[in-house]
Structure 1
């Protein structure tokens, strides 16, 4: 009897857990709350964007994306930054970062002077972010703007080409920051 208790009870428990998890086979295409599960990532993103849980982003094949006001920042990123709380200096620092990320994605990676110029601008924009935001806030915001700006495979690949071209480079930091 002791053996049955020792080995039988865990077996019954496992069978009960598996049965409870498998359901009745109905509604397997649904998620919690009874809503239909998205068929693919694109549909999932669209649902989250429409619900206001994600910013609506340009996912075109263009590296720079639409920029109607020609300020160097994609229009969707512009709108997103403008919707965030903060001072104008803080918003300007985020826009400067997005602008230089766009430059990094479109720079001629065979031109060392162009690479150096973009790297210096990147350094300056990050410094301005750290100057505009309290300690600890700048880094997560910078990461967020980077993720939103480099949001397609083509943009990611272009940004990685810039990073690869800069690998091993040494750049100096300006002694004085000139922020917008």
Structure 2
């Protein structure tokens, strides 16, 4: 299979959303107004937050695809995305996924195997940011190719789980856009992607063994 070329336009469009950076937020509820300080629990506020969470979950479930769910989450929570100078961003649990992106995936109304496959995809997309690919050397070319080959495992896993091809493609593009959401990250991706020119890949059979 010819090397997949990711849509840079999507990446650049998200880079335009450079709000002031706040710490990544792993909450799984829509934004709500802060309740005033109180020594006793505010039952009314708690109920409102529960209703808001339930309403948002229902809205997610009503979306026609997983990628549409991600779009809705982005619409509500784009301000929580990590736009710091760090290439890899914050990953407190050290699972290879930027915490803000993992929070997006945790909000999805999907079965856990599908969520895990999407996390596998997110982990693959971010992997190249741990290395410096600015030099065009044989060693870097080999490393870039080894990293890129893991994407066929992602495809095989998502295929095994029955994800529609269009949703597989679109969620991958969205994860790329969310990951390379600063100029520095985009430039690092371009350096890595340049080393992949001319490479081809063989698709794997859709099997559970390729799911992490």
Give TM-score scaled by structure 2 length.
0.57
* Residue in structure 2 matched with residue 155 of structure 1 by the alignment: 185
* Residue in structure 1 matched with residue 125 of structure 2 by the alignment: 101
Compared CA separation, residues 41 and 149, structure 1 to 2 (3 A): closer
Q: 1:90 aligns with which of 114, 119, 126?
A: 114
* C-alpha distance in 1 between matches for 2:165 and 2:202: 23
Greater relative CO (CA pairs within 8 A, separation 6+): 2
Q: Is 2:163 the counterpart of 1:140?
A: no
* C-alpha distance in 1 between matches for 2:18 and 2:201: 39
Alignment of 1:1-20 (within 5 A): none
Compared CA separation, residues 138 and 84, structure 1 to 2 (3 A): same
Q: Secondary structure at the match of 1:96?
A: helix
Compared CA separation, residues 106 and 134, structure 1 to 2 (3 A): same
What number of residue pairs does the alignment pair up?
Answer: 139
Give TM-score scaled by structure 1 length.
0.66
CA RMSD across the alignment: 2.7
* C-alpha distance in 2 between matches for 1:153 and 1:66: 17
- Contact conserved, 2:83 with 2:182, CA < 8 A, in 1? yes
Alignment of 1:92-131 (within 5 A): 92-109=116-133, 110=137, 111=139, 112-131=141-160
Query: What residue ranges of structure 1 are gaps of 5+ in the alignment?
Result: 1-39
Deviation at 1:74, TM superposition (A): 0.4
Q: Is 2:205 the counterpart of 1:172?
A: no
* C-alpha distance in 1 between matches for 2:160 and 2:205: 13
* C-alpha distance in 2 between matches for 1:126 and 1:151: 23
Q: 1:59 aligns with which of 74, 80, 83?
A: 83
Query: What residue ranges of structure 2 are gaps of 5+ in the alignment?
Result: 1-15, 23-29, 33-74
Deviations 1:76-112 (A, max 9, x none): 0111000011111111111111111111233343323
Runs of 4+ in 1 over 4 A off after TM superposition: 43-46, 49-52
* C-alpha distance in 1 between matches for 2:116 and 2:125: 14
